[in-house]
Amino acid sequence: MAQEPPLYDLVLLLDTQADDERRSQLLDNVQAAIEKGGEVVGRHDWGVRPTVYEVQKRPDADYHLFQFHGDNALLEQLDHTLKITDGVLRFRIIKLRAGTPPPPDLGSPAAAAAAPAGEPDEA
């Protein structure tokens, strides 16, 4: 019986001072790299949100989540590329355990209204 490849989360925090065209180009490049070496399962754009603390002297970031299947070569390529790419404030690749609940839909207006005010959002 074939075992399903592991599922990974890639959380990207992009610089809001980069223009929209540059940010969309970064996202397209990341998606193309994942599709070249794996399979994109989901893509969630969470929009501009304040960070808990300043990251590279920026009080907010443009949050994005990619869920994908891939091998170690893809993980190493993404890690290397994102470390040297201008416009990426932070990123994190996480291997998900079986049974992990799906990510919240933070991009919808209903989800933003349902979030309690005064509590920091997790990303």
HSE at residue 49, side-chain half, CA atoms within 13 A, is: 17
Tell me the whole-structure pTM to 2 decimals: 0.80
- Superfamily of domain 7-99 in CATH is Ribosomal protein S6/Translation elongation factor EF1B (3.30.70.60)
Q: Can you tell me the distance from the alpha carbon of 80 to that of 98, in angstroms, rounded to the nearest whole number?
A: 27
**Position 70: which residue type?**
G
Tell me the pLDDT of the chain (123 aa) as tens digits.
567 778 999 999 999 999 999 999 999 999 999 999 899 999 999 999 999 999 889 999 999 999 999 999 999 999 999 999 999 999 999 999 887 878 877 765 544 444 444 444 444
What residue spans define the domains of the chain?
A: 7-99
